[in-house]
Structure 1
Amino acid sequence: MTDIPTGNEFSAATGRELESDHGKPRYLAYQRELIGPHCGRSVLEVGAGLGEFADGFTGFDRYVVTDVDSGAVERMKRRFADRPEVEVQQYDIDGRTRLSEPVDTLVAINVLEHIADDVTALRELSESLTPTGNIVLFVPGYQQLYGEFDRKVGHHRRYTPATVSEAARRAGLHVEVARPVNFLGAFAWWAAVRKGGAGAPNPRLVALYDRFVVPVTRALEKVVPVPFGQSVLCVARRTDA
């Protein structure tokens, strides 16, 4: 379902190697700030990669980090060896993988766009939730920003609040939040990827973006609703409570 060659899932989906974190501490803090208020006491993060997001996301009773890439899973086992609440599993969104013990919240950061049939994927993911559980999606925003990097890493689409909401509703979920985020990041992405044709992250530009752009957009979005952004945040809940 993910359309990524087996054995090279992490690199194919991110454009990075297993040995390297993406070096965006401020951006990760910004993501945690957006996602944290929507999480229950137990969390399943799918497509967690090297565990960078989970690394600073604490205070839960149970946190399950997963990835389809076996190399990424081994990296996460070492990374979280000293956190007893963290479980590391290999997990593919293929309809055959499901948690034996459901969680309150499922987090999927930059995952859904890799899946051709996103509605079926959301329906299957919801089977790992408690009856009152929710899914928090963080997905690339706006097809106008689709560029060479998106194509290279296997993005089927970029979303708007309306299109990600439609996918969630068709999967039988009730949408509670759907809004654009990372307003200034959209301009940086447009310049680097859409117009510049970048096919891989530039470490120097990534560091500059994290240092100067992220703090400004983070502060801006606390006081002003933004009309679009590099990403879309969606929170959707099971309706069979």
Structure 2
Amino acid sequence: MDSSGAFAEATGRTLEGGSDQPRYRRYQFDLIAPHCGRSVLEVGAGLGEFAAQFRSLRRLVLTDVDPGAVEVMRRRFADRPEVEVRQFDVGAKLELGEPVESVVAINVLEHIPDDAAALRSLAGLIEPGGSIVLFVPGYQQLYGEFDRKVGHVRRYTPATLADAVRRAGLGVELVKPVNLLGGIAWWLAVRKGGAGTPNPRLVALYDRFVVPVTRAIERVVRPPFGQSVLCVARKPPTGTDAG
């Protein structure tokens, strides 16, 4: 993978700016953080917007393939001694020294042709019994021009994501669709409307009005479908097989 401009290619945004979505980032964080330990590696961390929400960790390692994004993160986290920032492409070798308790990969796995091999590689960076928390685009029915532009190999269902996790020799602790209303909005904008890039004005309105409703609905109802799929994969403890 050419690392030059990888952040823009993967997100449709530039390093200098983009649509701010504080409510959506917090929604993601509240889904992901409870499954993380005290030491976390985030792969494909971009500009560190999600990672900045972590506090009180013993260690936080942030990586991205794009050197420009890595430089932005180094400046952003310069005053946080628990944070390490490195350039890293999933599938390459990353020397961590001490393994971490958890890996977080948000909108990363869908870019990789051999997803099970990538998960096996990430599993080598975590402690026995540790977690890999995945947040990926959901449902091939939503695949559209934006997915093609940013290099998505696929979108996932809970079943296809669980299959990749098991092929990697990991256990599936949790897998479910999330963001039902986002999925409906994405289908209308991308599949029916043919949108190739996010509209910043619509993204801001979605963040302000739709995300709070999504939170309220998903507190009481498990959505049957969603814009994304959340999965918690568990590395087997030493000497045991994955469940």
Deviation at 1:150, TM superposition (A): 0.3
2-side partners of 1:101 and 1:195: how far apart? Answer: 48
1:111 aligned residue (108, 122, 126) = 108
Q: Secondary structure at the match of 1:155?
A: coil
Q: Does 1:61 pair with 2:58?
A: yes
Q: Does 1:198 pair with 2:195?
A: yes
2-side partners of 1:85 and 1:107: how far apart? Answer: 17
1-side partners of 2:205 and 2:211: how far apart? Answer: 9
Asked if the contact 1:14–1:153 (Cα under 8 Å) also holds between the matched residues in 2, the reply is yes
**Which residue in 2 is equivalent to 1:181?**
178
1-side partners of 2:34 and 2:91: how far apart? Answer: 28
Q: Secondary structure at the match of 2:173?
A: strand
Residue ranges of structure 2 left out of the alignment (5+ in a row): 239-243
Q: After the TM superposition, which residues 66-85 of structure 1 pair with which residues of structure 2 at under 5 Å, given as runs?
A: 66-85=63-82
1:101 aligned residue (98, 106, 129) = 98
Q: Secondary structure at the match of 1:193?
A: helix
Name the amino acid aligned to 1:197.
G
State the identity as a percent.
68
1-side partners of 2:214 and 2:201: how far apart? Answer: 19
Tell me the TM-score normalised to structure 2 length. 0.95
RMSD: 1.0
2-side partners of 1:114 and 1:171: how far apart? Answer: 17
**Which residue in 1 is equivalent to 2:140?**
143
Name the amino acid aligned to 2:41.
L
Residues 66 and 209 from structure 1, CA distance in 2 versus in 1: closer, same or farther, beyond 3 angstroms? same
Tell me the TM-score normalised to structure 1 length. 0.96
Name the amino acid aligned to 2:151.
G
**Which residue in 2 is equivalent to 1:215?**
212
Q: Secondary structure at the match of 1:222?
A: helix
1-side partners of 2:175 and 2:143: how far apart? Answer: 20
Aligned length: 238
**Which residue in 2 is equivalent to 1:40?**
37
Asked if the contact 1:193–1:199 (Cα under 8 Å) also holds between the matched residues in 2, the reply is yes
**Which residue in 2 is equivalent to 1:171?**
168
Residue ranges of structure 1 left out of the alignment (5+ in a row): none
